[in-house]
């Protein structure tokens, strides 16, 4: 895998839609994955022997334009690849505001290769919020990332963005399904 943290951050500005508003959700098994509310990590682990979080980068950075309107100051940005038996299936980009870092004693900044979901789905103070979806064109940065992972991008990529509520704040987790994942999901 010739992806390095040199190109971090990989995220690109995208227009996210409420699932009720986007007319053209994929009409195949991927739709269920896009809208599922549980831990993606737990679901991915049922499709492999070895699950691994590869960190592309983590840093306090300013969000992309319109990515986090309530936070124009730097937030903790974590980008990872979720790999199943050595194959990257998901690119994930998480944005965590400073007040959540402070109120959780910086647990999120010391995750390392532990899946974020281990924190999000075990803390009684964190509740899943809305889900939004988006389609990524084949000419974008994330398509280029997929290509650099030796995954052929024949069609636009699909992703979702989930909000997680903690006290009176939110963090955002975006997950883009790479071609290897879509190939498996739609052909199981």
Ligand X SMILES: C=C(O[C@@H]1C=C(C(=O)O)C=C[C@H]1O)C(=O)O
Residues that bind ligand X (CB under 6 A): 39-41, 53, 78, 80, 82, 90, 92, 94, 115-117, 120, 173, 175
Report the nearest approach of ligand X to the CB of residue 53 (Å): 5
> What counts of helices (H) and strands (E) characterise the chain?
6, 6
Report the nearest approach of ligand X to the CB of residue 111 (Å): 6
Ligand-binding site membership of 111 (annotated): no
**Segments in the chain forming alpha helices (H):** 29-35, 40-45, 98-103, 117-120, 141-148, 179-185
- Please answer whether residues 58 and 77 qualify as being in contact, where contact means their C-beta atoms are separated by less than 8 angstroms: yes
Ligand-binding site membership of 116 (annotated): yes
Ligand-binding site membership of 60 (annotated): no
Q: Measured from the CB atom, is 82 or 166 closer to ligand X?
A: 82
Instruction: Give the list of residues 6+ apart from residue 40 with CB closer than 8 angstroms, or none.
Output: 33, 82, 90, 117, 175
Report the nearest approach of ligand X to the CB of residue 94 (Å): 5
Residue ranges at the known binding site for substrate: 78, 116, 175
């Amino acid at each position: 895998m010739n992806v390095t943290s040199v190109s971090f951050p990989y995220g690109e500005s995208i227009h996210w839609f409420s699932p009720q508003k986007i007319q053209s959700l994929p009409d195949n098994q991927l739709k269920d994955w896009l809208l599922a509310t549980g831990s993606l990590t737990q679901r991915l682990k049922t499709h492999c022997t070895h699950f691994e979080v590869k960190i592309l980068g983590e840093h306090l950075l300013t969000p992309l334009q319109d990515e986090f309107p309530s936070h124009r100051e730097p937030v903790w940005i974590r980008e990872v690849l979720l790999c199943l038996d050595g194959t990257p299936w998901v690119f994930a980009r998480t944005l965590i505001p400073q007040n959540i870092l402070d109120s959780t004693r910086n647990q999120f900044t010391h995750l390392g290769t532990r899946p974020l979901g281990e924190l999000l789905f075990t803390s009684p103070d964190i509740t899943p919020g809305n889900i939004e979806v988006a389609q990524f064109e084949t000419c974008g940065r994330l398509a280029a990332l997929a290509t650099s992972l030796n995954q052929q991008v024949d069609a636009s990529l699909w992703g979702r963005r989930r909000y997680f509520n903690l006290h009176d704040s939110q963090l955002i987790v975006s997950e883009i399904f790479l071609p290897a994942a879509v190939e498996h999901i739609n052909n199981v």
